[in-house]
Structure 1
Amino acid sequence: MKAARIHAYGASSEIRIEDAPLPMLNDDDVLIRVVATSVNPVDWKIRKGYLKAFIPYEMPLIMGWDVSGVVEKTGPAVTRFKPGDAVYSRPDIARNGAYAEYVAVRETEIAFKPATISHVEAASLPLVSITAWEALFTTANLTPGQRVLIHAGAGGVGSIAVQLARAKGAHVTTTASAPKSALVRSLGADEVIDYHAQDFANVAKDMDVVFDTIGGEVQEKSWGVLKPGGMLVSITDRPSEDRAKAMGKRAGYVFIGPNAAILKDLGQMVDLGQIRPLIAAEFGLNDTAKAQDFSETGRATGKIVIYAGHP
């Protein structure tokens, strides 16, 4: 099969499009013929070696931990899926990923693809949707009527978070540049703060939840917009528990793993029209390096998708 692999950590020039062996299947694995995958910041952070102390990869490595495709083959212990099924997943990040024509994924990490969207759209959803879901609902326990501030509402995670929070019945405020204001409002934002023209810390007040997708100074300022007892939940820098306790507020941090149950529920929301994927750009497998370079700019509106095959 064709795959985009790295043989050493480094720049995007390390990515090689080359022949690779088909993945070996464990008894509980499903072999997925990849139609599309997508780029997440964790991909190029791994490529640069930022996570090598956390996850010791063997080289060569295939990145890409989002996938939508068609079941090609199943291991003998698999019972829920059969060849020909359309599926999607956020596979185990410790294994080879989906920048390839085929990927092996555990049955427990897979859900049926939403019926009303394409494989390209479905491939954009798993990692960012699980991230937003676990931050807003599992960790922050966002409930109807609460006020939430979501940073970077036009980004990959933020665009899904805005939609999930709106579907939950929360009052949604988000930060975005002025040209993206109409877009994030169409996703469900009640209020949009143009971060170029306004300091969100002077505008947002009495938030029950702040979802930090940026970190650094943005996270630091976010404490001030929370009401007493409110939660700051981040996917970048871990907020200080001591700081939260001293202020009478709460801190949360999310680093996700596979979660097929969330993908099943998300698929139902997609098919009901409550969630729509937001695609920033599409690349072919041969242009995987360019796709990662674009992701590194931080300017993508929505998700960057890579075609790996055909439906």
Structure 2
Amino acid sequence: MQAITVRDRSAGLAGLSLAEVPYPRAAENDVIVRVHAAGFTRGELDWPATWSDRAGRDRTPSVPGHDVSGVVAELGYGTTGLTVGQRVFGVTDWARNGSLAEYVAVEARNLAPLPAGVDHTVAAALPISGLTAWQGLFDHGHLAAGQTVLIHGAAGGVGSIAVQLAREAGARVIGTGRTGDRDTALRLGVDAFLDLQSDPWRTPARSTWCST
């Protein structure tokens, strides 16, 4: 099968190349996903797990990408809760080959059923950013209804999801971003938007904000 692979850690994004790689093997409690859409974060190329396994052994050429959306093609031994042909999305293991491939092996526990009304491309943009937003707001921030939360980069990948989650939780949301992000952040539901590009923000003694 074909996949995007990396071999040279010093090459950066220029080191990404299309190659033929073996079809993945489904270990116990795995599923094989036929990939319809995948997400890639350029920071992955700096993660140790992109280049070595958990024992520290070189595992290049490796396949990056950890957000995935697709259809279950095969079940590993002992896998329950999912069925062949089911639409799913989720995250792949950091220290295994990732989602920039035609097929990928994923632990079943790291996948969730994908509703029929959600496009694969949209689903593949969600897992890592969504989990990061959830963990920041609720696991670490313990956000509750009636509280006010400041979300930097409110129109970005993580920030846009954090805004929506915070609103659903009943919090008041203040978002920050660049001038061009204001309309997006307001559409997402921020109660107030702080423009970090405006001139007053460059002078510590002054500050302004724009609210709905």
Q: Is TM-score (shorter-chain normalized) higher than 0.5?
A: yes
Amino acid at match of 2:136: A
Within 2, Cα distance between the matches of 1:203 and 1:190?
17
- Whole-Å Cα distance in 2 between the matches of residues 53 and 81 of structure 1? 29
* CA displacement 1:15-74 (0-9 Å, x = unmatched): 11011101111021100000001122432433xx69869964511110000000000000
| Residue correspondence of structure 1 range 285-296 to structure 2 within 5 A | none
C-alpha distance in structure 2 between counterparts of 1:93 and 1:50, whole Å:
6
Distance in structure 1 (CA, Å) of the matches to 2:190 and 2:13: 35
Distance 1:203 1:168, change over 3 A: farther
Alpha-carbon distance in 1 for matches of 2:181, 2:70 = 31
TM-score of the two chains, using structure 2 as the length reference? 0.88
Mapped contact 2:67–2:92 kept (Cα < 8 A)? yes
SS of corresponding position for 1:130:
helix
5+ residue gaps, structure 2: none
In the TM superposition, what whole-angstrom CA distance separates every residue of 1:172-202 from its partner, at most 9, and x where no partner exists?
0111112221111111111111101143986
Q: Determine the C-alpha separation between the residues in 2 that align with 1:106 and 1:187.
A: 32
After superposition, the Cα gap between the structure-2 partners of 1:157 and 1:104, relative to the gap in structure 1 and judged at 3 Å, is same
Is the CA contact 2:44–2:50 (under 8 Å) kept in the aligned structure 1? Answer: no
For residue 64 of structure 1, give the secondary structure of its aligned residue in structure 2.
coil
Distance 2:168 2:143 in 1: 11
Aligned to 2:31: 30
Structure 1 residue aligned with 2:179: 178
Deviation of the 1:77 alpha carbon? 0.4
Aligned twin of 1:16:
17
What does residue 233 of structure 1 align with? Answer: none
The residue correspondences of 1:155-174 to structure 2 (distance < 5 A) are: 155-174=156-175
Residue 154 of structure 1: aligned partner: 155
Q: State the distance in 2 between where 1:121 and 1:17 align.
A: 24
Q: Is the 8 A contact 2:50 2:64 kept in 1?
A: no
In the superposition, relative to structure 1, how do residues 153 and 32 fare at CA in structure 2: closer, same or farther (>3 Å)? same
* Other structure's SS at 1:62 match: coil
**How has the CA–CA distance of structure 1 residues 195 and 53 changed in structure 2, closer, same or farther, with 3 Å as cutoff?**
farther
Aligned residues: 203
Counterpart CA distance in 2 for 1:14 and 1:41 is 12
2:201 matched to which residue of 1?
Answer: 199
Would the alpha carbon gap of residues 53 and 138 (structure 1) be closer, same or farther in structure 2, given more than 3 Å must change? same
- What is the TM-score of this pair, normalised by structure 1? 0.61
Distance 1:171 1:154 in 2: 16
> Does 2:101 correspond to 1:81?
no
Separation (CA, whole Å) in 1 of partners of 2:14 and 2:178:
31
C-alpha distance in 1 between matches for 2:132 and 2:32: 24
Superposed CA offset, 1:84-128 (max 9, x none):
000001121111100100000011111001332100000000000
Checking the alignment, whether the CA contact within 8 Å between 2:2 and 2:19 is kept in structure 1 is yes
Higher relative contact order (CA 8 A, sep 6+): 1
Matched residue, 1:6: 6
SS in 1 for 2:9: coil
Amino acid at match of 2:99: A
Where do 1:276-291 residues align within 5 Å? none
Task: Tell me if structure 2 keeps the 8 A contact 1:78–1:107.
Answer: yes
* Aligned residue identity for 1:21: P
8 Å Cα contact 1:162-1:189 kept in structure 2: yes
